[in-house]
Amino acid sequence: MKLFRRQLLHLAAGAAALPAVSRIARAQGYPTRPVRIVVGAPPGGALDIIARLTGQWLSERLGRQFIIDNRPGAGGNIGIEAVVHAAPDGYTLLMANTSNASNATLYGKLYFIRDLTPVASIHREPLLMLVNPSVPAKTVAEFIAYAKANPGKINMASSGIGTSSHISGELFKMMAGINMVHVPYRGQPPALIDMLRAQADVNFASTGAAVEYIRAGKLRALAVTTATRWEGLPDIPTVGDFLPGYELSAWYGVVAPKNTPAEIVDKLNREINAGLADPKLKARLADLGGTPFVGSPAEFAKFVADETEKWAKVIRTANIKPE
């Protein structure tokens, strides 16, 4: 009897361990088929480029194709919903960015926090506070004084409602105590075109999109939005030098549907972090004007939660509404 009981306990313990063994085996073999990376934006922008660089790296490392699936529209929410409703098996991922954190509040949908699992942060870059040369301000302090002397007469271009270009400007308005007219465009290129035409006065733009216009003297950079200066234009101060506490960076990372197995999340995180240490991939990302953003899934989750809370306050205070 004792021997039989001991055998039963041994079998029960083995059965209990089977799911864990099965999960680990699945993670070790993952992926066994192509993986889809959803991008909530059209091809050609920074979000799409970073997704393609990441997908190419993972394809080479893991031996299966990582396919980019562009799903633009509704401020990125079409892409998010496609991933939220996908099977949590690691075969559908989302290339997330700053706008997803702000849109959680802007559109009243908490998908980004509630129904998605952070996998890996990838890239951070500053935005540049730009003015057309016709604007007389040469510094942030001079710009604030100019805006206070001309309330409601300065046009602030952005690449769309809820984008990092928009919310960085709204944060600036709040902290500086100034009034500017927000003019949203459908993406960064048309906003910069109107900046060049002097049809817009100020814009917070990605470094990759704007740096050549600055070097050519067609636009003037007053500051960078990050807490430290950007090595690409080391003479340009930070907004925080004039408005202490101001900080914003455009960021990018991979998330997956909720309940994606932790073993798969951890495997993707390791492989992406290996890419961020690879000189060739680092150089490609540096061309976009930023730096690698390395961390664990837990660290990325905390960062996303903090960002969502930060921009919720700005959106509510500024009473920003979706289009």
31-125+250-318 with 127-241: one CATH topology? yes
Give pLDDT, residue 155: 97
Residue 99: predicted pLDDT = 86
Over range 129-156, report the average pLDDT. Answer: 97
Task: Average the pLDDT over each of 23-37, 136-150, 235-249 and give the range with the smallest value.
Answer: 23-37
What's the CA gap between 79 and 72, in Å, rounded? 7
pLDDT score at 319: 87
Per-residue confidence band for 186, with pLDDT thresholds at 50, 70 and 90 = confident
Pick the more confident residue, 112 or 318.
318
Q: Give pLDDT, residue 3.
A: 44
What would you measure as the largest C-alpha separation in the chain, in angstroms? 94
User: Cα 137 to the chain's mean position, in Å?
Assistant: 30
pLDDT of residue 104: 84
Domain at 31-125+250-318, CATH homologous superfamily: Bordetella uptake gene, domain 1 (3.40.190.150)
- The pLDDT-based confidence of 206 (bands split at 50, 70, 90) is confident
187 pLDDT band, cuts 50/70/90, is confident
Place of tokens 């942030």: 140
CB neighbours of residue 301 within 10 Å: 18
Structure pTM?
0.82
Confidence of residue 320 (pLDDT cuts 50, 70, 90): confident
Tell whether the torsion through CA atoms of 126, 78, 120 and 30 is positive or negative. negative
What is the per-residue pLDDT across 12-59, written as a single tens digit (0 to 9) for each? 455 555 454 455 656 678 999 999 999 988 888 788 999 999 999 999
- Under 8 Å CB-to-CB from 208, ≥6 apart: which residues? 46, 125, 287, 288, 289
What is the percent of the chain where pLDDT is above 90?
68
Of the listed ranges 6-15, 167-176, 204-213, 291-300, the one predicted with least confidence: 6-15
Provide the pLDDT for residue 86: 96
The string of pLDDT tens digits covering residues 76-110 is 888 999 999 999 999 999 999 998 888 888 887 66
The CATH number of 127-241 is: 3.40.190.10
pLDDT at site 14: 53
Boundaries of every domain in the chain: 31-125+250-318, 127-241
Match 């952070």 to its residue by tokens: 118
Q: What is the DSSP string of 259-315?
A: T--HHHHHHHHHHHHHHHTSHHHHHHHHTTT-EE----HHHHHHHHHHHHHHHHHHH
Place of tokens 């496609």: 82
Helix (H/G/I), strand (E/B), else coil: 66? strand
Contact 98, 250 (CB under 8 A): yes
Mean pLDDT of 196-223: 93
At 208, is the secondary structure helix, strand, or coil?
A: helix
